[in-house]
Amino acid sequence: MERAPDPVGIVGAGAVAQALGRELHAAGVPVAALASRTPASARRAAAAIAAGVKVVPVGGIPRIADRTIIAVADAGIGSVAAALATAGMRGSVLHTSGASGLAPCEPLRAAGVACGVLHPLQTVVSSERGDSRLRGATFGVAGDEPAAAWAASIVERLGGTVLRLAADELPAYHAGAVLASNALTAAVDAATVLMAQAGVPRRAALEAIAPLCRASVENALRMGPAAALTGPVVRGDAGTVAAHLKAIRRAPAGAADLYRAAARHLLVLARERQVSPSTLASLARMLDSGDGRET
């Protein structure tokens, strides 16, 4: 007979804490207690997770649960870890940051607590929207083996995929995750900014580019980025790129800089598609000049 999961404590009251807490509860993992900086936030988060979740100070968590998840902003992980260590935490602790590694957990590790990372590779805008997105998601997992094994068991219960990571390389992993999510949001916004220059209202621009965005992402994921690439760079169309660079001189700096940065990486993909070195060099000089002329 399978052993029942140990009760879990959560430190944090934000969207990830609530969404993950609800998913754990639904998967049969009892969330016994929750702590947060402000009692009112803690009460709201506990109620959102399940009835019966106790609201306690951070120092009260070790008396209730030997397994704890820290789901706070990156800058707060260290102080929470220190408070848990002072309160006599034992067992295992996970934090949900994708970039912080194990350094903030040193007070706990020095006390013999196994520490690890359980990072949902998914965007959680709010707790209400987050639950279904965490089910079946990929989670970055790293850390001391007992903690990493616990993290992997959580992912299994949520029907997700474990992505094993080296704890000291988490910033690179997280930078990739940011490009795959936040940078896409920036690209969509920059596209509407440039279209506004041509007289297209923002809402109309968003509606117009939606099918293009979806098809481009789906093709890149299905075929691989190099094989899916279309457009003037992979065609070696210097005239169109030059026209773009001239047009974006009148655009806000952020949109113009993003266009040039993206185009420079597209040169890398175009090289994989066997675009001639001379054409790529010509396009690179145009991008470096910033005005569509070769330097």
Does residue 72 fall inside a structural domain? yes
- The verdict on 194 and 124 lying in the same domain is no
pTM of the model: 0.87
Q: What is the pLDDT of residue 185?
A: 96
**Domain span including residue 267:** 181-289
The helix (H) or strand (E) run that includes residue 164 is strand 161-164
| pLDDT at residue 85 tops 90 | yes
Contact 65/18 with Cβ under 8 angstroms? no
Q: What is the pLDDT of residue 78?
A: 97
- The verdict on 194 and 225 lying in the same domain is yes
Q: What is the pLDDT of residue 293?
A: 59
Q: What is the pLDDT of residue 203?
A: 97
Task: Give the count of beta carbons closer than 10 Å to the beta carbon of residue 67.
Answer: 22
The average pLDDT across 99-124 equals 95
34-68 confidence digits (pLDDT tens): 999 999 999 999 999 999 999 999 999 999 999 99
- The verdict on 64 and 96 lying in the same domain is yes
| pLDDT at residue 1 tops 60 | no
266-281 confidence digits (pLDDT tens): 999 999 999 999 999 9
Q: Which residue has the tokens 């295992």?
A: 92
The total domain count for the chain is: 2
- 151 contact partners, CB below 8 Å, separation of at least 6: 94, 116, 117, 118, 139, 141, 143, 162
- The verdict on 19 and 79 lying in the same domain is yes
Helix (H, G, I), strand (E, B) or coil at 295: coil
Does residue 122 fall inside a structural domain? yes
| pLDDT at residue 132 tops 70 | no
- 51 contact partners, CB below 8 Å, separation of at least 6: none
Task: Give the count of beta carbons closer than 10 Å to the beta carbon of residue 31.
Answer: 24
Task: Give the count of beta carbons closer than 10 Å to the beta carbon of residue 81.
Answer: 28
pLDDT band of residue 6 (cuts 50, 70, 90) is confident
Rounded CA-CA distance 161/140 in Å is: 9
Q: What is the pLDDT of residue 10?
A: 98
Rounded CA-CA distance 256/291 in Å is: 11
The CATH number linked to 37 is: 3.40.50.720
Q: Where are the alpha helices (DSSP H) in the chain?
A: 15-26, 39-49, 77-86, 106-110, 127-134, 145-157, 170-180, 182-197, 202-223, 225-228, 232-235, 238-247, 253-272, 277-289
Q: Which residue has the tokens 């185009």?
A: 263
Does residue 30 fall inside a structural domain? yes
pLDDT band of residue 289 (cuts 50, 70, 90) is confident
Q: What is the pLDDT of residue 123?
A: 85
- The verdict on 200 and 256 lying in the same domain is yes
Share of the chain above pLDDT 70, in %: 94
Rounded CA-CA distance 210/235 in Å is: 23
- In angstroms, what CA-CA distances link 151 with 52, 119, 242, 273, 284? 24, 9, 50, 40, 45
| pLDDT at residue 126 tops 70 | no
- 181 contact partners, CB below 8 Å, separation of at least 6: 123
Does residue 194 fall inside a structural domain? yes
The average pLDDT across 152-169 equals 95
Last residue of some domain: 168, 201, 228? 168
Least confident of 30-44, 128-142, 170-184: 128-142
Last residue of some domain: 168, 192, 223? 168
The average pLDDT across 221-245 equals 96
Least confident of 82-91, 131-140, 235-244: 131-140
Packing angle between helix 170-180 and helix 182-197, nearest 10 degrees?
40
Does residue 250 fall inside a structural domain? yes
The average pLDDT across 72-81 equals 96
Rounded CA-CA distance 99/76 in Å is: 13
Burial of 10 (C-beta count, 10 Å sphere; 0-12/13-18/19+): buried
Rounded CA-CA distance 99/125 in Å is: 18
The pair of three-digit structure tokens given for residue 242, joined into one six-digit string: 């030059």
Contact 32/24 with Cβ under 8 angstroms? no
- The verdict on 189 and 240 lying in the same domain is yes
- The verdict on 127 and 104 lying in the same domain is yes
| pLDDT at residue 22 tops 60 | yes
- The verdict on 38 and 104 lying in the same domain is yes
- The verdict on 80 and 163 lying in the same domain is yes
Does residue 175 fall inside a structural domain? no
Does residue 176 fall inside a structural domain? no
- The verdict on 239 and 162 lying in the same domain is no
pLDDT band of residue 161 (cuts 50, 70, 90) is very high
Last residue of some domain: 103, 136, 168? 168
Helix (H, G, I), strand (E, B) or coil at 33: strand
- The verdict on 30 and 56 lying in the same domain is yes
- The verdict on 153 and 249 lying in the same domain is no
Contact 71/10 with Cβ under 8 angstroms? yes
Does residue 173 fall inside a structural domain? no
Mean pLDDT computed over every residue of the chain: 93
